[in-house]
Amino acid sequence: MQKAFLQTLYDIAENDRNVMMLSADNGLEFDKLFKRDFEKQYIEFGIAECNMVGAAAGLALCGKIPFMHTASNFLAYRALEFIRNDVCIHNANVKIIGFGSGLANSTLGPSHHSTEDTGVLYSLPNLTILSASTPMETEQAIKEAYSIVGPVYIRIGLVGEYENQDKLPENIFKSSNNTLRDGSDAVVFSTGSIISEVLKAADIVGKKGFNIKVVNVNTIKPFDKKSLVEITKGIHKVITVEEHNIHGGLGSIIANFIAEEKIDTDLIKLGLQDSFAIGYGTQQDVQQQNGLDNVSISNKILSIFKDS
């Protein structure tokens, strides 16, 4: 996903000299390439994320379109006050790209996991929150953010994410809740790169005789509640799966709209159960250790049918 973001931003910056890249000591070779080709459109801040956010707000208020990027845990947590006061209060045209969403920084432990960022940022007025599950969706998310005048936060992964692009519609952001797999026994809403595990889990459950609808949520805020009503019509089991604390994440957001719209369904939230993730290793290793791999997800879904 990082590569998709960087290449897309490079192409946009080439055609719009107001577009800038702001970096916080990310150590990426592509940053050096961007600086070489667009020297006046690049600023390196070092390990100073709060300064970067404040500067981005100032640049935006001067007519520039800054895209700042670094690990999402450093943006959502360390620089929260600056995102709130400098960017969102002024409705500044700043794009915040947080990479390593969920458990992607799997070898670095919970200090580097972004498993509360949606909950932390969702309550900020004026902020659009996008979440990419594939490199292609990352590319379209960057283009979508560029078209929006105002603050945007984009959650992206790192490398090696789900590549089955044929399951994604051409215009991903025409509807922010895209059905990737149809079914009538239950519907699973998910977001981010864990969607690949969810699709595998749905296939496993399908072999047991249950048809699971899988929906990819790429716009966390504003959430498309109209499509939520349509997608859940006649389905009495709604499941959310996310690499995030179930409190404040996608599950909580959907719970609010289910209550507001008086949707007659049960809601089961799968994710980190008000805890930090345990374990180290690859992203798949950490998913497994925290019950968020496809086998664990499928077992939990099957238990829901068994208990009903």
**Which pLDDT does position 170 carry in this prediction?**
52
Tens of pLDDT, residues 89-139: 999 999 999 999 999 999 999 999 999 999 999 999 999 999 999 888 999
Of 15, 24, 63, 58, nearest to 43 (Cα)? 24
Q: What CA–CA distance (Å, rounded) separates 58 from 93?
A: 10
Strands (E), the chain: 19-23, 42-44, 65-71, 95-99, 128-131, 152-156, 177-181, 186-190, 212-217, 219-221, 237-245, 266-272
Q: Which amino acid is at 203?
A: D
Query: 276 pairs with which residues across the strands?
Result: none
Angle, to 10 degrees, between the axis of helix 135-147 and the axis of helix 2-15? Answer: 40
User: Which pair of structure tokens corresponds to residue 8?
Assistant: 């897309």
| CATH 3.40.50.920 domain position(s) in the chain | 172-307
Of 108, 122, 112, nearest to 78 (Cα)? 112
The answer to whether 231 and 203 have CB atoms below 8 angstroms apart is no
Q: Which amino acid is at 148?
A: I
Q: What CA–CA distance (Å, rounded) separates 65 from 68?
A: 10
**Rounded mean pLDDT, 278-288:** 96
Tens of pLDDT, residues 250-270: 999 999 999 999 999 999 999
**Which pLDDT does position 97 carry in this prediction?**
97
| CATH 3.40.50.970 domain position(s) in the chain | 2-156
- What is the bridge-based pairing of β-strands 152-156 and 128-131? parallel
Q: What average pLDDT is seen over the chain?
A: 93
Tens of pLDDT, residues 51-76: 999 999 999 999 999 999 999 999 99
Question: 3.40.50.300, 3.50.50.60, 1.20.1440.230, 3.40.50.920: which CATH number matches 172-307?
Answer: 3.40.50.920
Checking if the pLDDT of 162 tops 70, the result is no
The answer to whether 208 and 234 have CB atoms below 8 angstroms apart is no
Architecture of domain 2-156: 3-Layer(aba) Sandwich (3.40)
Q: pTM score, two decimals?
A: 0.94
Q: What CA–CA distance (Å, rounded) separates 194 from 74?
A: 21
Checking if the pLDDT of 175 tops 70, the result is no
